[in-house]
A and B are shown apart, each in its own frame.
Chain A
Amino acid sequence: DSGVTQTPKHLITATGQRVTLRCSPRSGDLSVYWYQQSLDQGLQFLIQYYNGEERAKGNILERFSAQQFPDLHSELNLSSLELGDSALYFCASSASPVDTQYFGPGTRLTVL
Chain B
Amino acid sequence: DQQVKQNSPSLSVQEGRISILNCDYTNSMFDYFLWYKKYPAEGPTFLISISSIKDKNEDGRFTVFLNKSAKHLSLHIVPSQPGDSAVYFCAASARNAGNMLTFGGGTRLMVKP
Q: In the complex the two chains form, is A56's CB within 8 Å of B100's CB?
A: yes
User: B49 within 8 Å of A by Cβ?
Assistant: yes
Contact with A along B4-26 (1 / 0, CB 8 A): 00000000000000000000000
User: A52 within 8 Å of B by Cβ?
Assistant: no
Q: In the complex the two chains form, is B100's CB within 8 Å of A4's CB?
A: no
Tally the A-B contacts, defined by beta carbons under 8 Å.
Answer: 64
Instruction: Kindly list chain A residues whose C-beta atoms are within 8 Å of the C-beta of B98.
Output: 48, 55-56, 97
Q: Name the prevailing secondary structure of the A interface residues.
A: strand
Known: A100-B34, A100-B49. A105 touches B43 (CB 8 A): yes
Contact with B along A84-112 (1 / 0, CB 8 A): 00000010101001111111111010000
Q: In the complex the two chains form, is B99's CB within 8 Å of A56's CB?
A: yes
A-facing residues in B36-67 (Cβ within 8 Å): 36, 41-46, 49
Question: For the complex, what is the distance from the CA of A85 to the CA of B64, rounded to whole Å?
Answer: 34
Known: A43-B89, A56-B98. A101 touches B103 (CB 8 A): no
Interface centre among A31, A43, A44, A58 (most CB of B within 10 A): A43
Q: In the complex the two chains form, is A102's CB within 8 Å of B96's CB?
A: no
Q: In the complex the two chains form, is A45's CB within 8 Å of B44's CB?
A: no
Q: In the complex the two chains form, is A45's CB within 8 Å of B43's CB?
A: no
Q: In the complex the two chains form, is A90's CB within 8 Å of B101's CB?
A: no
Instruction: Kindly list chain A residues whose C-beta atoms are within 8 Å of the C-beta of B49.
Output: 100
A-B pairs, 9 with minimum CB distance: A56-B98, A103-B43, A45-B100, A43-B103, A98-B95, A103-B44, A105-B43, A106-B43, A104-B43
10 contacts between A and B (CB under 8 A): A33-B100, A42-B103, A42-B105, A44-B103, A56-B99, A56-B100, A101-B101, A102-B46, A105-B43, A106-B43
